[in-house]
């Protein structure tokens, strides 16, 4: 059964379809791998081995009787910020330690009633962080080097895929939380266009930024998982009523008709030399594969991180107001209601959640609103204009995903600003709402480096096709770690 772990998700799906392997056998293989490595990795807050077997048998029955959609039998890792019916969903926070959602997130609905799930993956509390060290359930370790972080906030999902504790995973990306951990763990991570995937049942962090995305071994798996989660949803008023194309149809068509712009502002000296080197090797590779490659400017990318660290905390301060000890989650008792709110939130939230709530509340408070929040929203407009100009000349844009390879546990926990810098390459696409994907581009210091491709809104088919070409020219092969 161990050999099943060496398959990509789409390969496993084919073996399920041809009945060479049963869904139950796949679930058993994932469970066994979790038993083997989870003590070292801590990729999960909650594992669901029995539920996975139970549901796998139901899927096998349906497979025999009516057939299934290609993604349904491949056990999935689900980030613990996505609501799962009857399975506790903590968001990496103490405040939701015992919370059991009443329904599944809409993004999971194409898996049917019986989602075969390995478990709920670890994350920075409420998806705020770039290392998964801000979890109330202990840090996740990078399967490539157990002394290093897996990135974040979807670090549990990234580590689970890299370690083979499941074939693929869902993460969420607000300012890089799918892409950066994918880069640091040597896997593929896609943030779709804002609105492409319903956010209903995704416990909100930054509502104008959040997107659910695939984290997978290869680009074909990312396309298949996107096919499963994309679509319009009446439960999310920001979900886009745009037709879902076939994401697999043109994957292998190459890049000879594509123009690739390398973003000057995201390849400067703020990026480690080893990471820049891999990025430029990929640019040359794409050129040799027939793409037209040039340089492009996004002048306001220099201000994107600052704008992001106003907008995201502002939205957080509003979204996390719902955790008040009344309708769900922790309550710490007190005589009056205000003291109950204060004590509950003091006990339930960790340091980074508190910092962001404070930062957002400050930026929105009377007297500071125009200087911070309003100005940041204008920067966002300028950045959207920068991207529009770039996409009039190029089909996709190339940059590194993260300024460095995986760093050591504890290296940045005392310095929030140093941690925030991890997001410099990721936040421009988030603010503009455009799709972006991280693909392993090679190694630096023996650790994986991710390169990022960005595309115009709803051009995921082109983006995935270009990503597939990066995979071809990259000096990298997926293999299980450790």
Looking at beta carbons only, is 112 or 416 nearer to other proteins?
416
The torsion angles phi and psi of 470, rounded to 5 degrees, stand at -60, -45
**Is 42 or 452 the residue whose CB approaches other proteins more closely?**
452
The token duo for 175 is: 């300012």
Q: Is 154 a catalytic residue?
A: no
Q: Name the minimum Å distance from CB 243 to other proteins.
A: 15
- Catalytic-residue membership of 239: no
Q: Could you say whether residue 418 binds other proteins (CB under 8 A)?
A: no
- Tokens matching residue 180: 């950066």
Residues 74-103 touching other proteins, rule: CB under 8 A, are 99-102
Pairing of strands 44-47, 117-121: antiparallel
Q: Residue 86 phi/psi, 5° resolution?
A: 75, -5
**For the chain, how far is it from start to end, CA to CA, in angstroms?**
18
Cβ-based nearer residue to other proteins, 72 or 210: 210
Give the Cα separation of 429 and 448 in Å (integer).
22
Give the angle subtended at the CA of 170 by the CAs of 384 and 345, to the nearest 5°.
Answer: 80
**Cα within 13 Å of Cα(79), Cβ side:** 35
Residue 208 interacts with other proteins (CB under 8 A)?
yes
- Which residue from 245, 230, 229, 246 is spatially nearest to 78, judged by alpha carbons? 229
- If binding is defined by CB under 8 A, does position 376 make contact with other proteins? yes
Residues 171, 215 contacting (CB under 8 angstroms): yes
- Nearest-approach distance from CB 274 to other proteins, in angstroms: 26
Q: How big is the site for other proteins, counted in residues (CB under 8 A)? A: 69
Residue matched to tokens 């000349």: 393
β-strand pairing of 168-173 with 211-216: antiparallel
Rg (CA), the chain: 21
Q: Which of 106, 157, 177, 430 is catalytic?
A: 177
Torsion of CA 198, 200, 201, 202, to 10 degrees: 60
Tell me which stretch binds other proteins (CB under 8 A): 60-68, 273-281, 364-372, 397-405. 364-372
Which of residues 262 and 432 has its CB atom nearest to other proteins in the complex?
Answer: 432
Binding mask 50-69 for other proteins (x = CB under 8 A): --------------------
How far is 144 from 460, CA to CA, in rounded Å?
29
Does 359 bind other proteins (CB under 8 A)? Our answer is yes
Is 318 in the active site? no
**Element (DSSP H or E) covering residue 447:** strand 447-455
Which is the catalytic residue, given 22, 79, 198, 412? 79
Q: Least distance from C-beta 185 to other proteins, angstroms? A: 27
> Considering the rule CB under 8 A, would residue 361 count as an interface residue with other proteins?
yes
By CB under 8 A, tell whether 71 contacts other proteins: no
**Residue whose structure tokens are 């799918």:** 178
Binding mask 327-356 for other proteins (x = CB under 8 A): xxxxx-xxxxxxxxxxx-xxx-x----xx-
Catalytic residue among 121, 131, 153, 404: 153
Signed CA dihedral, 141, 142, 147, 151: sign only: negative
The minimum distance between CB 334 and other proteins, in angstroms, equals 6
Q: Contacts with other proteins in 11-50 (CB under 8 A)?
A: none
Site string for other proteins, 447-466 (x = CB under 8 A): ----------x---------
Which one among 93, 142, 317, 462 touches other proteins, defined by CB under 8 A?
317
Near other proteins by CB under 8 A: residue from 46, 280, 377, 444: 377
- The three-point CA angle 175-272-412 to 5° equals 60
Nearer to other proteins, 336 or 446 (CB): 336
DSSP 10-25: HHHHHHHHTTSS-HHH
Binding site for other proteins (CB under 8 A): 99-102, 194-195, 208, 234, 237-238, 240, 303, 306-307, 309-310, 317, 321, 324-331, 333-343, 345-347, 349, 354-355, 357-359, 361-362, 365, 371-372, 374-382, 384, 416-417, 420, 431-434, 457
Residues taking part in catalysis: 79, 153, 177
């Amino acid at each position: 059964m161990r050999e099943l772990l060496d398959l990509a998700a789409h390969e496993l799906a084919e073996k399920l379809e041809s009945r060479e392997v049963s869904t139950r056998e796949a679930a058993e293989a994932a469970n066994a791998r979790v038993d083997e490595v989870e003590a070292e990795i801590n990729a999960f807050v909650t594992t669901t081995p029995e539920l996975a077997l139970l549901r796998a048998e139901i899927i096998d029955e349906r497979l025999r009787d009516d057939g299934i959609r290609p993604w349904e039998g491949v056990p999935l890792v689900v980030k613990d910020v996505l609501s799962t019916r009857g399975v506790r969903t903590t968001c990496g926070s103490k405040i939701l330690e015992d919370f059991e959602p009443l329904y599944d997130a809409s993004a999971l609905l194409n898996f049917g009633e019986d989602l075969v799930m390995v478990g709920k993956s670890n994350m920075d509390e409420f998806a705020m962080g770039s290392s998964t060290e801000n979890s109330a359930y202990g840090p996740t370790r990078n399967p490539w080097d157990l002394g290093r972080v897996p990135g974040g906030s979807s670090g549990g999902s990234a580590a689970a895929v890299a370690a083979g504790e499941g074939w693929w995973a869902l993460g969420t990306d607000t300012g890089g939380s799918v892409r950066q951990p994918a880069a640091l763990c040597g896997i593929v991570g896609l943030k779709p266009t804002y609105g492409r995937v319903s956010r209903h049942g995704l416990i909100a962090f930054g509502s104008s930024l959040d997107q659910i995305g695939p984290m997978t071994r290869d680009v074909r798996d990312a396309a298949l998982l996107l096919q499963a989660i994309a679509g319009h949803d009446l439960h999310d008023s920001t979900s886009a009523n745009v037709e879902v194309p076939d994401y697999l149809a043109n994957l292998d068509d190459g890049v000879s008709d594509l123009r690739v712009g390398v973003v000057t502002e995201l390849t400067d000296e703020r990026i480690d030399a080893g990471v820049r080197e891999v990025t430029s090797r990929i640019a040359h590779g794409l050129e040799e594969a027939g793409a037209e490659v040039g340089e492009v400017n996004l002048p306001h990318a220099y201000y994107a991180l600052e704008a992001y660290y106003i907008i995201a905390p502002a939205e957080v301060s509003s979204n996390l107001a719902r955790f008040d000890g009344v309708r769900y989650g922790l309550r710490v008792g007190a005589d009056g209601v205000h003291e109950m709110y204060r004590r509950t939130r003091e006990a339930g939230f960790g340091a980074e959640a508190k910092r962001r709530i404070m930062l957002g509340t400050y930026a929105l408070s009377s007297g500071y609103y125009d200087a911070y929040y309003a100005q940041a929203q204008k920067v966002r407009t300028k950045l959207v204009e920068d991207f529009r100009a770039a996409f009039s000349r190029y089909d996709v844009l190339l940059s590194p995903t993260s300024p460095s390879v995986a760093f050591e546990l504890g290296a940045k926990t005392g310095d929030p600003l140093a941690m925030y810098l991890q997001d410099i390459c990721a936040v421009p696409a988030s603010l503009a709402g455009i799709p972006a994907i991280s693909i392993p581009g090679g190694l630096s210091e023996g650790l994986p480096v991710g390169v990022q491709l960005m595309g115009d809104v709803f051009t995921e088919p082109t983006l995935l096709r270009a990503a597939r070409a990066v995979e071809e020219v990259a000096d990298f092969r997926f293999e299980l770690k450790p």
